[in-house]
Structure 1
Amino acid sequence: MHNEEKILVNVTPNETRVAWVENGVLQEVWVERANKRGLVGNIYMGKVDRVLPGMQAAFINIGLERAAFLHVSDVCHQALGCEDEQCEDIAKLLHPGQKIMVQVVKDPLGSKGARITMQVTIPSRMLVYMPIEKTLGVSQKIDSSEERERLREVVKQIPEFESSEGGFIVRTVAEGVDFHEMRADMMYLQRLWGDIQEKTRASRKPTIIYEDLPLYLRILRDVPMDQIEKIRVDSTETLKKMQGFVEMYVPECLNRLGLYQGERPIFDLYNIEEEIQTALHKRVNLKSGGYLIIDQTEAMTTIDVNTGAFVGHKNLEETIYRTNLEATQAIARQLRLRNLGGIIILDFIDMEDKQHQQHVLSALEKELAKDRVKTSISSISSLGLVEMTRKRTRESLERTLCEPCPVCSGRGSVKTAETVAYEIFREITRMARSFDALQYRVIAAESVVSQIMDEESSSVAELEAFLNKSIRFQAESSYAAEQYDVVMM
C-alpha cells in the first residue's frame, strides 16, 4: 500500500464516532448518537398526507415528527401498478390516505423533513438490490472495462439472478470477487427483501419496516476494505459485532480488525480530537501562511481563499498561484472532514494567467476524485469563483455537533452595548406613551449598564427630564449581551 490508511472506532453508550486516517492525517469523521441515528437507507410504510400538484410533490407521513417530501420524479410507477410510465402528474399517481413503501434518501436537514423515494434499494457488501426494477449495472468506479464485463457475466450466471424479479448494481468493492461470494451476497439480499415484504403486509399504520445498519457496521460495508490497513475499536462488545459481520461478508479482512488497548483515548491518536474542534471553526490555516474562511449557511457553503502572511519568493501572481494550488488540497479535505454538501462556492484569489487557472482547476478535480461522495465542479468564472456541488445525505459535522448560538441566534455576531442602550431608551419611550408608571427599572448585561452609566449618562438625564420619571439601572451577570428587561414601578 502506498498510503497507510486506518479506521479508528470510538464507542460510548450514547455515541459512536469513526475516524478515517490517511498517513497520520484525519480525512473523514462520522458521528452517530443513539437518540439521533441517521435515517438514510431506512424503509418505511408511509401514508400520503397531502398532494401538491403545483409542486408535483407529496408529503408523506412515515411516523416521524415532520412529514417526508416525495417528488414526482421519485415515484415508482411499477410499485403503483401504473401502466402509463410517462405520467408525470402527481395527482394521477397518488391520493391522500394512500399507503406506499418509501425509503429515506436525505435526512431531515434544518427545518426540512426527510427526502424520500419509492425507488427502493438495499445495499449489501458487494451488491445493491433494486427489487422493483429488473436491471443489471456495474459501478463505473471500477476502472477496468474487462473487469466490469467479467462481473456482469458472473452475475448473469447466478441462478437467483435469473429468477429474481428485481435487478442489481455491482459495487466497487466487488472488484476481483468470484461467483460464490457474489451469489452469497445476492441470496442474503433476496432473503432480506422477503422479510421486508412480510413486514409491509402486516403493517397497518405509518411505521419503519427496515432500519439501516449502525455506523460501525456501515463503515465495514461501504468503505473499500482493500484500502484500509488496520481497523481499531476501543469497545470489546462492538469489536465482537464487527468481527461477526466481517466473518460473514469479508473474512479476508478479519486480521485487520483489532481491539485498541492503549492508555490514551483512541481519538487522542493523530490529534483527532483537536482536528474535530478545528473543523468547527471558520478559519483553516494553510502551511504557507495563507488561509481559508469557510461559511456554512442553509442555502450554500462559501470557501474564501486568502494569501494571509504568505508573500512568496518571486512576484504577486506566483504567490497567488501557489496559494490557490495549496488551497485545493485543503478544500477537498475540509469538504470530507466537515461533510459539507449541497451548493458550494469556492472563491479563489484572482489569477490573470489562464494556464494558472487551468492548473488550479485540474488540481482541484484530482483532489475531489478521492472523495467517495459524488461531486461536480464548474470552470473558474471571471470573478475567480468555482461553483460546485457535493451530494448531501446527512447533516454536516457542525450541524451534528453544534446548535445555533442562543446569544446571537446563529448570526455569528452580537449587537454592541451602545446599540442595546439605544434600544432600551426607545423601549422606555414607547412604554411611557402607553402606560403611566412612577419610575422605570432596567435590568441588563453588565457591559450595557456600564455603557449607559458612563457614556450615555447625559442621555439618561435628558430622557428622565423629558418623561418626568426616574430611571434606575441594574446590572445582571446572567444576562446575555442583547438581553434586557424594562420594569415599570
Structure 2
Amino acid sequence: MKGRMILLDHIGAVEAAVLMIDGQLDDLLVDSETAPRPGTIYRALADRPIKGQGGMFLKTPDGSAFLRQVKGLSPGQPILVQVTGYAEDGKAIPVTQKILFKSRYVIITPDAPGINISRSIRDDDLRDALLEIAHGVIDGSDMGLILRSSCADADSDDIASDIETMAALARAVMADTVGPAEKLAEGDSPHTLAWRDWADPAQVVQDKGCFAQNSVLEQINTLASPRVPLAGGGALFIEPTRALVAVDVNTGPDTSLAAGIKANMAAARALPRQLRLRGLGGQIVLDLAPMPKKDRRAFETSLRAAFRSDQVDTTLVGWTPLGHYELQRKRARIPTKEVLT
C-alpha cells in the first residue's frame, strides 16, 4: 500500500484519525472522553494566585485551570483563556491568554495585528496573490492573520471563505468577556484536526470499520508494548512514569565497535514518530547506548533533523552530567495507552 492515506474512524467509542504512509502508521490522533481538548476557549474566573509558581488558578466549567500569570489579575475577574495541552493526572488544565483560532488555511491572531505568510511559500507572485485575498477579507480589522503553507495549493475562494469564517468566530469569542465561567469554543476533534493539519495530498477513507479493514488496529496495538525494534537489530524501550518518560536504547546482538552510535542514530530517527503515536510529552530522558563523546554532535544533528518536521513543539535540552540526553515536549495529545486500556 503505497502513498499517503488518511483514515477517519473510531477506536471503540472514541473518535480517532490515522495517517498512513506506505502502509505504515505515521500519526495517530485520539479523542479524550474526559479531558478538554487543546484549543478549547473558556471565559474563566480568576480564583487564587500561587505566587511561588508565578501563576494563578482559574475556575472553568471543566474544573480548575492554571495560568502562568498573576500580574493584573484579581480573584473573581473574568478572563479569556485557551487550553494549551492535556494536564498531567491530578493537575490543573494548562491554559494561556494568547488565544489563536486555527483552521486549514489560516490562523487568526487577535492580539498580534498584521498579515503574515508561511515562510515555506517562497513564490513572490503567489505571496502577492495571497496578500490580496487576505486584504480583501480582513482589511480594517485589528486582528492578525497567518496564511499557512497549505494555501500554496488551495483555491482562492476556499482561502477567502476560511479567513471570513475564522475571523467571524474570533470576533464573536473575543467580545464575550462578561459573565460567569463558560466554555466559549470547543477544541477541534481528531477528524477536524486531520483535515486541518494533514494538508498534503492523500487518499481519505471515512467508512465505518476502515481501521480494521486496513490493518490499523494491529499497528495501534503494538503501541501497548514499550519495546520498539530498530534497524540493525537494536531496540528502544519507551516507558512513561509519573515524573518523566524514560527512553532506553539497546544495541541488541551487534557487538561491533560502532554498535552504540548505529543504535543511537536509529533511535534518533525513530523517536519523533514513536512519541507522536504514543501521545507522550513532558520531560523525556534518553539513556543512550554507549558511544564516544566525539559522536555526540552527529547524534544531536540527526535528532534535530528528525524533530524538525514534527508538529508537536519539542525542545532539545541537551546532555546531563551522567551522559543522558534530555528533551522537553508539549503535552499536546492524550497518552494513547489510556485509550488502549
What's the TM-score once normalised by structure 1's chain length? 0.63
**What residue is the counterpart of 2:50 in the other structure?**
52
**What residue is the counterpart of 1:11 in the other structure?**
10
Aligned AA (1:234): D
- Other structure's SS at 2:84 match: strand
Instruction: Give the distance between the partners of 2:222 and 2:155, measured in 1 at CA.
Output: 44
Instruction: Give the distance between the partners of 2:12 and 2:338, measured in 1 at CA.
Output: 21
* Residues 284 and 113 (structure 1), Cα distance of their counterparts in 2 relative to 1, 3 Å cut: same
Superposition deviation, residue 55 in structure 1: 2.9
- Other structure's SS at 1:39 match: coil
**What residue is the counterpart of 1:391 in the other structure?**
330
Q: Contact 1:158–1:179 at 8 Å: present in 2 too?
A: no
2:138 pairs with 1:161: yes
Instruction: Give the distance between the partners of 1:8 and 1:396, measured in 2 at CA.
Output: 20
Instruction: Give the distance between the partners of 2:129 and 2:88, measured in 1 at CA.
Output: 37
Superposition deviation, residue 137 in structure 1: 3.0
Superposition deviation, residue 110 in structure 1: 0.9
**What residue is the counterpart of 1:327 in the other structure?**
267
Aligned AA (2:336): L
Superposition deviation, residue 49 in structure 1: 1.1
Instruction: Give the distance between the partners of 2:181 and 2:299, measured in 1 at CA.
Output: 50
Question: Matched residues, percent identical?
Answer: 26
Match of 2:306 among 367, 371, 384: 367
Instruction: Give the distance between the partners of 1:197 and 1:143, measured in 2 at CA.
Output: 30
Q: How does 1:288-437 map to 2 (within 5 A)?
A: 288-311=232-255, 316-352=256-292, 354=294, 356-378=295-317, 383-402=322-341
Instruction: Give the distance between the partners of 1:274 and 1:32, measured in 2 at CA.
Output: 19
Instruction: Give the distance between the partners of 1:218 and 1:173, measured in 2 at CA.
Output: 14
Aligned AA (1:204): G
Superposition deviation, residue 167 in structure 1: 0.8
Superposition deviation, residue 163 in structure 1: 1.0
Aligned AA (2:234): G
**What residue is the counterpart of 1:482 in the other structure?**
none
Instruction: Give the distance between the partners of 2:59 and 2:104, measured in 1 at CA.
Output: 31
**What residue is the counterpart of 1:414 in the other structure?**
none
2:101 pairs with 1:122: yes
Structural RMSD (CA):
2.7
Superposition deviation, residue 130 in structure 1: 1.6
* Residues 100 and 4 (structure 1), Cα distance of their counterparts in 2 relative to 1, 3 Å cut: same
Kindly indicate which of the two structures has a greater share of residues assigned to strand: 2
Match of 1:113 among 92, 104, 119: 92
Q: Contact 1:136–1:152 at 8 Å: present in 2 too?
A: no
2:46 pairs with 1:102: no
Residues 148-193 of structure 1 deviation map (CA, whole Å, 9 limit, x = unaligned): 95477336x6234321121112222122446544332221122223
Aligned AA (2:271): I
- Other structure's SS at 1:398 match: helix
Instruction: Give the distance between the partners of 1:334 and 1:380, measured in 2 at CA.
Output: 21
Superposition deviation, residue 96 in structure 1: 0.8
2:170 pairs with 1:193: yes
2:180 pairs with 1:205: yes
Q: Contact 2:264–2:299 at 8 Å: present in 1 too?
A: yes
**What residue is the counterpart of 1:21 in the other structure?**
20
What's the TM-score once normalised by structure 2's chain length? 0.88
- Other structure's SS at 1:69 match: strand
Residues 247-270 of structure 1 deviation map (CA, whole Å, 9 limit, x = unaligned): xxxxxxxxxxxxxxxxxx432355
Instruction: Give the distance between the partners of 1:118 and 1:70, measured in 2 at CA.
Output: 8
Q: Contact 2:37–2:188 at 8 Å: present in 1 too?
A: no
Aligned AA (2:172): D
**What residue is the counterpart of 1:218 in the other structure?**
193
Superposition deviation, residue 37 in structure 1: 5.9
Instruction: Give the distance between the partners of 2:129 and 2:36, measured in 1 at CA.
Output: 32
Instruction: Give the distance between the partners of 1:318 and 1:172, measured in 2 at CA.
Output: 40
2:276 pairs with 1:279: no
Gaps of 5+ in 1: 73-89, 236-264, 403-489
Q: Contact 2:6–2:203 at 8 Å: present in 1 too?
A: yes
* Residues 321 and 108 (structure 1), Cα distance of their counterparts in 2 relative to 1, 3 Å cut: closer
- Other structure's SS at 1:164 match: coil
Aligned length: 340
Q: Contact 2:55–2:66 at 8 Å: present in 1 too?
A: yes
